[in-house]
Structure 1
């Protein structure tokens, strides 16, 4: 029916003009359908349309757009929105529609209501039908899920009477509260589609181009592509979430750049929480209980679990909840966003929430769910003493730790410690928690280790006590470790492997920090015997024997006892590292490196980073002793990777810095060595043997740079620290020899002469290869300066530059290329022979003399080969024969042996 009066134009909004783009990006299809329906309405064909979708999907915005389109088409509009506050007030929605129709200016608009209104349903239908027969009318009712029952029944009656009118009834409802069959609004069954047009519009997520378009409209400048993609993923095509995010960004003045991606995640989580709280108000208690179970169980929730814990029919409940937009599609119910699950559980008290987690975990355990799923449920559960809980949490923590997820492992172990477990079970839990905390919080890890050693338990806790003691000693906490280890040793069987391991670790700590020993420890821990029977104690005895330089054969035999395959199970890895270091000091580098590789693999498997770091430090010293600075540098890099972040400690870090400096010195770069040592300022007063190594490296570096007095002070401090721990073996650190070099000529300095004499005496007592009787007669001739060579019969090997070998400790004047070729020539040289005496100089051939003279001038092997038109291999062979005939040990002694004055080389 055509209108009897000319409609007044409705107010226009942006995008309302003819041909203007729609403000609803991504809803072009729905808008076109509504426009077509309005055109049919103008032609006299009534329309019944319903819009539905999850919360926040844009239902109200589409209805508002339909009202704007109706105004552009000259169609009167009466609109109202139901609200939860008026759900129990009869005819509240109908009254609002009646008032809006009265204000609309419709030709047949009713009079405004005066006072309380209690209409009769049929009379109210006649009012709107009469208006629609006079002029086309769009009736909009939003959020019908909040409508009161009287208004809903009136709208149903109105829908059955649409035939023959120009009335379009447009409603919307949230999928979170779908209409029951008795609440649906339908046309009269006798009316066909040609009489009353019917449309149902299901709104889904916005496509990504629409999200990008809305983001572009929200800011003056275009959003970064990365930010735009992240926003599209975060809001999941929900316009309400997108609008909330853009409003928060605008209020805070944030721009859509990659720098603000963390804020995007926070804003999205806030919007999800707000939408979830709104959705929960629509749902009945039965569905809210289902959501709570899904939130507590996480992604491992199942239909049978829902049915068992809530009593609801799971398929029907999940079908109803699918319209909320909170859950992911799929067979297993799970929330789209963690913030939604948090909001669902936030409505419960702490006690109710913990009880719910306990029930879900217990059901999942009985149903043989994966351990990871049960462990996640137990994290929020109340400790109830279930016999299976501690073992399950501990096993899952071990899997997380093996995968590098130490924070997750620590969280599970803390939860396990809340269970009322027996003391013998708490000790390994505390130790494993300390291991998990080492990378992030070493201070807390040390506290848990001390607590593990203090926890009283029976002898079954022995292995856990051993591991805790090993980690505490490896961390360098010697003062705390000694009394705690002494107490733990009293609780285990005195003749067992655990007791032997604890005693050996106590002796190891005592050797490193003898001043930390307590009088109370003397009774439970006996003195270390020279040759103990147990393998673990043999490692401690080998270490002490080697440091004191008493008997190289005994130390080597004890170390091999501790490293035997049969002893690996009973000897802690830290003691095996000490035994490997003994082999390094005895010159058995190949054997030591092989054993260190085995220890390192086991330490990494057990995830004991401090022990692995010490093993790599010893490996680096061994490689440096073999004349392989490149391999030592590789070991150092692996150690730094192992001890990344907070794993570094004042006990191990000085040793790693010292090793790095010694490698740079060996590579001929004292400047870089000095720069590395500057990083050791926080560890300048570090105690223990690593601190002594640091002072030794600093002294050598300063000596190489010509700072004799400062070098001597560092070297004497190194010696003082070593002597305080009864470390006299020069194979560990030859500080006396280097200190004598810093003093000057022994003929003029009795201190230098005394240091050299004592060094040779101690080296001979230890039995270092290459130390020969009668060498003390040459003790009065020290090297003239830091770059001078030392006579072969008076040199004491430096473990950091070739323990058990025959190389000069200070070579600051040699070019790196020449020194590298020296090492290659030395590797080709056979071991020294005690007899016969070296051949005299006259036995050298002419070719050997020519090569030797050029080498004495400082030319590298390749330059000699180029000058003589021979191969570098030929030069190496001539030099090897020359060293053997002259009875010298390397290129540095070549000029003195030939009586040759080196020429300046360029």
Structure 2
């Protein structure tokens, strides 16, 4: 590999100049380029191309020596005069005094130069000319203007930020050659990396090396040297290791040069790394104590170095550039800059979200109002993750109980859209922190989403507050009815009687219709009042929802009631309305419920493919908002559909992805048990399936869900009994339809039998088969005490004293 990369054009230019030097033609050459671009290396290559016996005068400038008068001139001429035995008196006289370059003095230095080239050409090479002392610069300029008939080549390197006047002066001479060093191309970078690491690099590694070095040879050489030392595999590099090496390389090269030569640009880069690349220049100037013009110049410098973009707003060209800048800042300094930046942005009236991002990284407690405002702005923009972060930070900074209560209410309202389980926990914490129901009714009303009562933790605060409201002398109408609707969907009857009386005063308004929908679901689940359930459901969907909130609980309850009372078309229409209102009100958890109900209806109608699509859509949406109870329900619905599609392995895999939370809604638990039973039955394990179906029925019956339309566990259990050869048990478990109270008892049905509930009829049938109470309890998955209680109630209803009178009382 040649020592110089990508420099063929430049070397050709200087070869031409050296050829001219042989015939007495002068040249003034300026090599311009950023730090590390290979200016010094190019100077070395030029000197190796010179004719034999050429006089070469060399000097290297440095800012620390710029106050020594004629320091550069002495570097150039001392070695030549000492080696050649020439008299130094004229030179010493010319280069002493007060440092001013008089005309006579410059002429004397010109004579010295002319004397040196009487026999052979001379080449004057000066590295970093802009750092030369002022008298030496004047000598250089004076000599450059007098080379018309002298075989002299003057070559100087200049940085990219060299004074424009100096560049213009040199470029105006007829024998001047200005050479701007270009960055290495991507191909040259890849070739260099391959040679240094001993093998062709991975495409992404080559691209990273080119991006980080910006085509700068010195940075690239340092980067590859470190990668070689760390034994980075060029074909299969570790991205984290390469990033770490790149960050350190950039810090020790480009950023170190910047710190030494342009402190203002380095400070601006630090501010951009800490405060954000889109920081306004005015803010940057205020934070650094610099003028805006200085900051603008610093921005141009950073753009020239390839670290940031040139436009507005300023952006880092690569994440590694910001990481390198941050690596040079101590923790305390970073926190202090965030603190000062946040205070300044707050005073300047910057957007609260911008200020909040800096407050998040400080230890200050003064920014709670800013964080709350930022959370509101983020919520309005539907950036719920950011709003949650701001409010949690505000909670950590607050110690005022009233403020903490307000923050918790605001946080729970945000988490309703972002993290449903966290919302349930905060709603529960609100009740614990402030048990005053009047104070809690408002915040809970904003959280009254039916999805929140999918678990016991989310339902508990509603039950507590409703109980308190129902016991109050004059409870507020809307909170009582809407919160009671939440409680009814959980399956609890807290505040039911008081709410029924309150709703009767104006049954057509929004709160009453929402309450009616939830009550319809409870009535339909019991299976005794189907016409009443449909009537309540029809009332719930009558007219538009409230203009200030969707009728979530009312619509969900109505959809369930229609589905469970044999009106799937109406249920589907309500589901469509639920999904639409969820979209309009940005309530994704409400859309999940609509999809779940629609999935269940699709499977009931024999369209398992549609049910599967809705179930998988509901699962994805539920998981996106942390609604793990609803996600479990969606997996169960999806598994049922997969079993119907004869894709049992997929169904089992779907159910195995997670377990149903212990505090999930009984209907969700039962749904999961049913799905597991269907998978077991499809695999031929009917004993396991039967136990799962009976457990499902036990949980539903314990919560008053006796309508077989809710979950057809009896049908599944009968099939399992049949597969196991227990045909009598199969007939028994499916022969007991629920008693309907919306119509007169069937005249053909014995009067005694009409007095008993479905659960009591099941007990009677098994007792008549000769089973003991313990055997009946085991068959129905109940306790013996529960069976004895059932029997006592049966005897009282039928007016008999014991088992031996059951047959006569029932007309058998």
Shift in alpha-carbon separation, 1:296–1:709, aligned structure 2, 3 A: closer
Corresponding residue to 2:24 among 26, 30, 44:
44
Shift in alpha-carbon separation, 1:352–1:734, aligned structure 2, 3 A: closer
The residue that corresponds to 2:600 in the other structure is 621
The residue that corresponds to 1:694 in the other structure is 672
Q: Give deviations 1:246-289, integer Å, cap 9, x for gaps.
A: 33433333344576566655554444444452243245555556
Q: Distance in 2 between matches of 1:579 and 1:263?
A: 58
Q: Distance in 1 between matches of 2:463 and 2:60?
A: 75
Q: Distance in 2 between matches of 1:352 and 1:78?
A: 49
Q: Give deviations 1:233-256, integer Å, cap 9, x for gaps.
A: 554433344334433433333344
Q: Give deviations 1:619-668, integer Å, cap 9, x for gaps.
A: 1101111222121122122123323478462x234423332232233334
The answer as to 2:476 corresponding to 1:495 is yes
Shift in alpha-carbon separation, 1:655–1:91, aligned structure 2, 3 A: same
Runs of 5+ consecutive residues of structure 1 not aligned to the other structure:
1-13, 16-22, 112-117, 515-521, 780-906
**Alignment map for 1:730-745 (pairs within 5 Å):** 730-744=708-722
**Alignment map for 1:463-542 (pairs within 5 Å):** 465-468=444-447, 470=449, 473=452, 476-479=454-457, 481-483=459-461, 486=464, 494-509=475-490, 511=492, 533=503, 534-542=512-520
Kept in 1: contact 2:518–2:553 (CA 8 A): no
The residue that corresponds to 2:761 in the other structure is none
Corresponding residue to 1:179 among 163, 180, 188:
163
The residue that corresponds to 1:727 in the other structure is 705
Kept in 1: contact 2:693–2:717 (CA 8 A): yes
Corresponding residue to 1:395 among 377, 382, 399:
377
The answer as to 2:337 corresponding to 1:352 is yes
Q: Distance in 1 between matches of 2:543 and 2:219?
A: 63
The residue that corresponds to 2:575 in the other structure is 596
Q: Distance in 1 between matches of 2:133 and 2:655?
A: 80
Offset at 1:156?
5.2
Offset at 1:595?
1.5
Q: Distance in 2 between matches of 1:78 and 1:774?
A: 126
The answer as to 2:622 corresponding to 1:637 is no
Runs of 5+ consecutive residues of structure 2 not aligned to the other structure:
89-94, 100-104, 504-511, 754-812
Corresponding residue to 1:141 among 118, 126, 130:
126
The answer as to 2:411 corresponding to 1:430 is yes
Q: Distance in 1 between matches of 2:370 and 2:655?
A: 52
Corresponding residue to 1:330 among 308, 311, 314:
311
Q: Distance in 2 between matches of 1:333 and 1:707?
A: 65
Shift in alpha-carbon separation, 1:65–1:130, aligned structure 2, 3 A: same
Task: Tell me the SS of whatever aligns to 1:652.
Answer: helix
The answer as to 2:11 corresponding to 1:27 is no
TM-score w.r.t. length of structure 2: 0.72
Q: Give deviations 1:310-334, integer Å, cap 9, x for gaps.
A: 4333666655665444342336554
**Alignment map for 1:31-430 (pairs within 5 Å):** 31-70=11-50, 75=54, 77-83=56-62, 130-133=115-118, 135-144=120-129, 147=132, 155=140, 159=144, 165-175=150-160, 177-179=161-163, 181=165, 193=173, 197-225=175-203, 228-229=206-207, 231-233=209-211, 235-257=213-235, 267-283=245-261, 287=265, 298=276, 300=278, 310-313=290-293, 323-330=304-311, 333-340=314-321, 347=329, 348-360=333-345, 362-363=347-348, 365=350, 385=367, 390-391=372-373, 394-399=376-381, 401=383, 410-411=388-389, 426-427=407-408, 429-430=410-411
Q: Distance in 2 between matches of 1:68 and 1:446?
A: 78
Shift in alpha-carbon separation, 1:88–1:745, aligned structure 2, 3 A: closer
Shift in alpha-carbon separation, 1:529–1:744, aligned structure 2, 3 A: farther
Shift in alpha-carbon separation, 1:287–1:700, aligned structure 2, 3 A: closer
Q: Give deviations 1:178-204, integer Å, cap 9, x for gaps.
A: 3375x77967x9xx946xx32222234
Shift in alpha-carbon separation, 1:172–1:445, aligned structure 2, 3 A: farther
The residue that corresponds to 2:528 in the other structure is 550
Q: Distance in 1 between matches of 2:684 and 2:545?
A: 49
Q: Distance in 2 between matches of 1:737 and 1:320?
A: 78
Q: Distance in 1 between matches of 2:210 and 2:478?
A: 61
Q: Distance in 1 between matches of 2:365 and 2:639?
A: 52
Q: Distance in 1 between matches of 2:392 and 2:486?
A: 27
The residue that corresponds to 2:638 in the other structure is 660
Q: Distance in 2 between matches of 1:165 and 1:375?
A: 68
Q: Distance in 2 between matches of 1:279 and 1:489?
A: 71
Offset at 1:585?
0.7
Task: Tell me the SS of whatever aligns to 2:178.
Answer: strand
Shift in alpha-carbon separation, 1:215–1:715, aligned structure 2, 3 A: same
Q: Give deviations 1:29-74, integer Å, cap 9, x for gaps.
A: 222222222333343344332222333433333333333434x766
The residue that corresponds to 1:573 in the other structure is 552
Higher mean C-alpha displacement, 499-508 vs 415-424: 415-424
Offset at 1:214?
3.2
Q: Distance in 2 between matches of 1:446 and 1:241?
A: 54
Kept in 2: contact 1:327–1:334 (CA 8 A): yes
Kept in 2: contact 1:542–1:579 (CA 8 A): yes
Q: Give deviations 1:718-740, integer Å, cap 9, x for gaps.
A: 12222232222222123234323
TM-score w.r.t. length of structure 1: 0.66
Q: How many residues align?
A: 714
Q: Give deviations 1:665-713, integer Å, cap 9, x for gaps.
A: 3334556545554556677996632121122233344345543322221
Task: Tell me the SS of whatever aligns to 1:313.
Answer: helix
Task: Tell me the SS of whatever aligns to 1:643.
Answer: helix
Kept in 2: contact 1:245–1:267 (CA 8 A): yes
Q: Distance in 2 between matches of 1:262 and 1:660?
A: 39
Shift in alpha-carbon separation, 1:573–1:126, aligned structure 2, 3 A: farther
Task: Tell me the SS of whatever aligns to 2:449.
Answer: helix
Shift in alpha-carbon separation, 1:242–1:147, aligned structure 2, 3 A: same
Q: Distance in 1 between matches of 2:724 and 2:750?
A: 13
Shift in alpha-carbon separation, 1:102–1:558, aligned structure 2, 3 A: farther
Kept in 1: contact 2:651–2:679 (CA 8 A): yes
The residue that corresponds to 1:798 in the other structure is none
Q: Distance in 1 between matches of 2:33 and 2:203?
A: 29
Q: Distance in 1 between matches of 2:750 and 2:623?
A: 46
Which structure's residues are more often helix, by fraction?
2
Kept in 2: contact 1:155–1:185 (CA 8 A): no
Root-mean-square deviation (CA, aligned residues, Å) is 4.9
Offset at 1:590?
1.4
Task: Tell me the SS of whatever aligns to 1:38.
Answer: helix
The residue that corresponds to 2:541 in the other structure is 563
Q: Distance in 1 between matches of 2:122 and 2:425?
A: 77
Shift in alpha-carbon separation, 1:286–1:545, aligned structure 2, 3 A: same
Shift in alpha-carbon separation, 1:119–1:465, aligned structure 2, 3 A: farther
Shift in alpha-carbon separation, 1:213–1:719, aligned structure 2, 3 A: same
Q: Distance in 2 between matches of 1:138 and 1:451?
A: 84
Q: Give deviations 1:467-511, integer Å, cap 9, x for gaps.
A: 54638725x441365147735997999415345333432443464
Kept in 1: contact 2:255–2:266 (CA 8 A): no
Kept in 2: contact 1:296–1:357 (CA 8 A): no
Higher mean C-alpha displacement, 675-684 vs 329-338: 675-684
Q: Distance in 1 between matches of 2:317 and 2:361?
A: 20
The residue that corresponds to 2:686 in the other structure is 708
